[in-house]
Amino acid sequence: MKRVFCCAAICLLTVTVWAAPVTVTHNYFDITFYNSGDTNGYATGEQNWTAQQIDDVKASIDAWSGHIANTPGRQIQMHVFWEEMDPMGTNVLGGSASYGFSDDTTQWNMGEYVWKQGANAPTTDYGFDTIITYDITAAGMNWNFGTTAPTGSQIDFRSVLTHELGHSLGFSSTYDRVYDDWGWDYENGSYSGISDWDRNLIDSTGNKPENRGTGTPGNFNQLDSPVYWEGAAATALYGDLVPIYAPSSWEQGSSLSHLDEGQLGSLLMSPAIGAGQMTRTVSELEWAMMTDMGWTIIPEPATLALLGLGVLILRKQRG
């Protein structure tokens, strides 16, 4: 974009320069940081990335990769953006979206598939496996960057980063609220199987997700408050079925894809985070759930010390 300002005999020519996208290879990821005005054809950046913010992304990747033994079939392509996310809701801090891959029985997020299955999957249309967007204004609060803990008026950036990465690695459901069914793949326009996450869900009357249907043996109650996780590793560690977030009113982007904070406290994959809260690492329970989803975790979840959020929302304080 060029702007020209002329006054009398003096002509001043100024040029607005956009920073180009920056791709950084870190661990198993190629991360492309889209600056203000940059686009990949799917999204457009609205703010530049700083060196500190890039370091924060690397640290959040390390929070997951440090205990995962699986070796991906190729580098995972991740695109990240700053945007004003108010159109999605004034409490939204960040969101992740992934291309899918399926074998008509199971659906995976593409990054999950490449890493967990060790697959060299084909490049996607826009060049990314997963895309993660962060709200410029931290839902009306302030972001905390770097290694220090957030203050009571700040949202911790690394906590939100690590949470959104968790969704791209499998903490997500195929349930479609509009059609009340499981397994629909919008990319292919067909039923393509349920996710490894879905396979571990069960409602209070014993219904389980079912590809092409509403659940079996009856109709899965997605507003069960809570739904449960019945995977062997997590239930052995927890000592019971693990509560999954399923409020009585459906919350798009939150229901069925998070842990129930009301019963489990503030874990990484809780649906919300508050100002001053810092949850940057994966808990022992969440590692056990990764094991139930087919990941190889080192060390085994039972020997880990307790470490320590689709969208992540800002938890409002009571007045």
First-to-last C-alpha distance (Å) of the chain: 46
State the average pLDDT over residues 23-33.
98
d(CA 301, CA 291): 8
Distances (CA, A) of 2 to 19, 20, 48, 317: 15, 17, 19, 45
User: Tens of pLDDT along 93-125?
Assistant: 999 999 999 999 999 999 999 999 999 999 889
Angle at 310 between CA 68 and CA 55, to 5 degrees: 55
User: Tens of pLDDT along 128-176?
Assistant: 999 999 999 999 999 999 999 999 999 999 999 999 999 999 999 999 9
Sequence spans of domains, the chain: 21-196+273-314
pLDDT at 6 over 90: no
The residue type of 10 is: I
The pair of three-digit structure tokens given for residue 175, joined into one six-digit string: 């349930």
The residue type of 283 is: S
pTM: 0.89
User: Tens of pLDDT along 185-206?
Assistant: 887 889 999 999 999 999 999 9
User: Residues 11, 4: contact at Cβ < 8 Å?
Assistant: yes
User: Residues 113, 102: contact at Cβ < 8 Å?
Assistant: no
Whole-number pLDDT of residue 305: 40
